[in-house]
Amino acid sequence: MISYLHIIYFFIVIIHVFSYHLPVSKCPEEDSLRKCLDQYYVKGPVHFRDNFVAYNKDLNKQFNKRIIIHFPVAFVHPIDVLDVQNTIKCAIKLTYPIVARSGGHSFEGYGLGDKDCYLIVDLVNLNKITIDITAQTAVVGTGNLIDKFYYEVNQLGFAFPAGSCPYVGVGGLIMGGGLGFLNRKFGLSSDNILDAQIVLANGTVVYNVKNYPELLWAIRGAGNAGYGIVTDLTLRIYPIQKVISSFYFEYDFDQIPLVFLLMHQLGSNLHQNLTTTIIINSNSTTIHGVYLGSTSKLQYHMKEFIKLSTPKNISYIENNWYNTIIGDQKESEDKASVKLKSFFIDSKGLSNEGFKSLMKFSRNFRCEIISTATLIGGGQINEIRRHETAFVHRGFLFEMTIIATLNSENNICLQELEKFSQEFQRNYTSYEGYQNIIDRQLDNWQCRYYGENFERLVEIKRKYDPYNLFHWNQSIPTNTKISCI
């Protein structure tokens, strides 16, 4: 007998689904797509829009509530590379644009395409991890989240340089660069891609992309921009100290110029085991850092900085690598309505006028805002030249991200943020922006994300995806009149 609770739950689900204003009409060739996926024996779950509960769950994987939801024709959840291959064959046959999704954390929602009726390949079931401690490598399915990957390698005494959000999928993060607390020591995530398995736009599988040097070059910095569907990555991993120290130095808001100036002077010479992030909100600033080693050694390396900056509060914590980076974040992920902007600051640092501009904006912005400036100067990221991989952003001191959490005045906040960002970048920072902090409003994104590497990326795209099967608003195109040289 069906209980009242089950009936209530059913209607809640239906109401929630239709709150998205789900379109009634089918996508073109939708019935043909169903038949094609059946004929090719795609084994993983396939969720079309008439499967309300499963389809809605897939929609909800997009974490940024600011994003206008697009409605894919279906979500395919492949269980192996053959499923991916056959899904692509159906997309080719029926001319469906196709997008791969790893963790659902595209800040602009490109994991759902950029209009209705995309075919989404959700890689969540491609989550195998194979670690070779002798070779110091890991083969990682691109459906894994950072949390699981970090945990597995940490259990064997290793670590990998990537971000600190446990819910982000490894595929998009690693292939788009990958900044975090190990970059000064071991380089970017993308710098540590040794090999990959990728299904191309013609449906063929490249099992070892290292045999295709130009394709390997492209996925090391632009692999999340439309070259195919990467199903696993072979990554270099690193033995890690048993004891990792994290620290927080707290300052008053008006000490922001002092903190930045000292980091300008001392940051590039700090030990490569040490990475710091300056965190600015509307009334204070904090330096959060991670050191590969004990607190006593950390204190030695930061002795001069502490003496000159006189923080009002200091705290240290020792733990292993996994707990230091992930900590208690894995309890739950809160969705929010956010907009992010990215800037690179060169070795000269911010000018006095730049400090004033940032501080004034932080004080007066009508929505909640946090700015972070992560130290990358003096580390392995800058040991690689701009053209050696598709990740062009080398030689900088900081990567700065502004994170705005929007409220009922979100349209005004977005306008204010856009105006400030354009002026701030024009006057005080590099022209470039970090492609993993994807920004739909960014003008001339081709050159800001990829610099002088962009035209080569277009050539490679044209070779491996000539009909632009994998495309969205900010994917690499097959043709361009833009020159970034």
Angle, CA of 292, 296 and 302, to the nearest 5°? 75
Domain positions in the chain are 4-122, 129-240+452-464, 244-446
Local structure of 379: helix, strand or coil: coil
Stretch 39-68: mean pLDDT: 94
Give the largest Cα separation in the chain, rounded: 72
Q: Residue 5 pLDDT more than 50?
A: no
pLDDT at 201: 97
At 207 the three-state DSSP class reads coil
pLDDT for res 335 = 81
Which range among 201-205, 372-376, 405-409, 430-434 shows the weakest confidence by mean pLDDT?
A: 405-409
| Mean pLDDT across 376-382 | 96
Please tell me the predicted confidence (pLDDT) of residue 331: 62
Give the number of other CB atoms < 10 A from CB of residue 19: 9
pLDDT digits (tens, 9 = 90+) for 91-131: 999 999 999 999 889 999 999 999 999 999 999 999 999 99
Q: How many CA atoms lie within 13 A of 200 on its CB side?
A: 17
Distances (CA, A) of 105 to 6, 342, 436: 32, 16, 10
Instruction: Report the top-level CATH class of 244-446.
Output: alpha beta
Q: Which of 410, 340, 336 is nearest to 64 (CA)?
A: 336
| 346, two tokens | 């060169």
Which residues is 400 bridged to in the sheet?
A: 343, 373
The pLDDT value given to residue 332: 64
CA angle 248, 249, 255 (to 5 degrees): 145
Element (H, E) at 30: helix 30-39
Q: What does the pLDDT read at residue 6?
A: 36
Q: Average pLDDT, stretch 197-224?
A: 98
Q: Are strands 229-236 and 284-291 parallel, antiparallel or unpaired?
A: unpaired
| Phi, psi torsion values for 307, nearest 5 degrees | -60, -40
Region 195-209: mean pLDDT is 98
User: Which residue has 């446990």 as its token pair?
Assistant: 166
For domain 129-240+452-464, give the CATH number.
Answer: 3.30.465.10
Residue reference for tokens 């204010």: 416
Nearest-angstrom CA–CA distance, 222 and 226: 8
Segment 380-384 shows an average pLDDT of 97
Q: Which helix (H) or strand (E) holds 159?
A: strand 158-159
The predicted pLDDT at position 19 comes to 45
pLDDT at 282: 87
Q: 478 falls in which pLDDT band (50, 70, 90)?
A: very high
Compute and round to an integer the Cα radius of gyration of the chain. 23
Query: For residue 154, which phi and psi values (nearest 5 degrees)?
Result: -65, -35
Site of tokens 């009922």: 408
The per-residue pLDDT for range 298-322, each reduced to its tens digit, is 999 999 999 999 999 999 999 999 9
Q: What are phi and psi of 132, to 5 degrees?
A: -110, 100
Q: How many CB atoms lie within 10 A of CB 353?
A: 10
Burial of 443 (0-12, 13-18, 19+ CB in 10 A): exposed
- Model pLDDT for residues 143-196, shown as the tens digit of each residue: 999 999 999 999 999 999 999 999 999 999 999 999 999 999 999 999 999 999
The side-by-side arrangement of strands in the sheet containing 244-252 is: 313-319, 244-252, 284-291, 274-280, 368-375, 398-405, 338-345
pLDDT reported for residue 187:
98
**Same fold flag, 4-122 and 244-446:** no
Q: What is the CATH number of domain 4-122?
A: 3.30.465.10
Asked if 96 and 160 touch (Cβ cutoff 8 Å), the reply is no
Rounded-to-integer distance, Cα 484 and Cα 477, Å: 14
pTM for this prediction:
0.94
Length of the chain: 485
User: 301-339 b/e with 16+ CB inside 10 Å = b?
Assistant: bbeebeeebebeeeeeebebbbbbbbeeeeeeeeeeebb
Element (H, E) at 230: strand 229-236
Model confidence at 1, in pLDDT bands (50, 70, 90)? very low
pLDDT reading at 35 higher than 60: yes
Mean pLDDT score of the chain, rounded to an integer? 93
pLDDT at 141: 98
Kindly state the tokens that stand for 217: 């070059």
Q: Sorting pLDDT into bands at 50, 70 and 90, what band is 336? A: confident
Reduced 3-state DSSP string for 421-451: HHHHHHHHCCCCCCCCCCCCCCCCHHHHHHH
